[in-house]
Amino acid sequence: MIVDDEKGIRQSLAGVLEDEGFVAHAVESGEACLELLERRAYDCILLDIWLPGISGIETLARLRDLYSDLAVVMISGHGTIETAVQATKLGAFDFIEKPLTLEKTLVTVRNAIRQKRLEAEAAQLRHQLIR
């Protein structure tokens, strides 16, 4: 899922991800992101820092409380080191600065999904060993 208030970025990212074989949905706010997650599961969310309504950081905090196994990559054109550190402390997988590059974005999304799948597999194996 792509969460960004800029329509052009949402459309561009969705198009690129779909060209690479991903199913991509795009929304314009943190509230819309949380609402969509009630109806559908996602492997990765690209989440802008600056959003109307609840901020990307607040959305990330809510995502961590509700969906702790979800990979979240923060994106921002106005990011600071403090914001990146705060996002990382809240559990963001990575932080990408705008303007986004195609290669870095795709590598980051693939790595985030791979990491979360490996973590899920490890947890499942640990659970099987405990039995």
What confidence tens digit (pLDDT) does each residue in 27-41 have? 999 999 999 999 999
Q: Is the dihedral of CA 22, 25, 29, 34 positive or negative?
A: negative
For the whole model, what pTM was predicted?
Answer: 0.93
Number of neighbours of residue 100 by Cβ within 10 angstroms? 19
46-105 pLDDT, tens per residue? Answer: 999 999 999 999 999 999 999 988 999 999 988 788 888 899 999 999 999 999 999 999
Residue 57 CB contacts under 8 Å (≥ 6 apart), including other chains? 49, 83, 86, 87, 90
Mean pLDDT of 112-126: 93
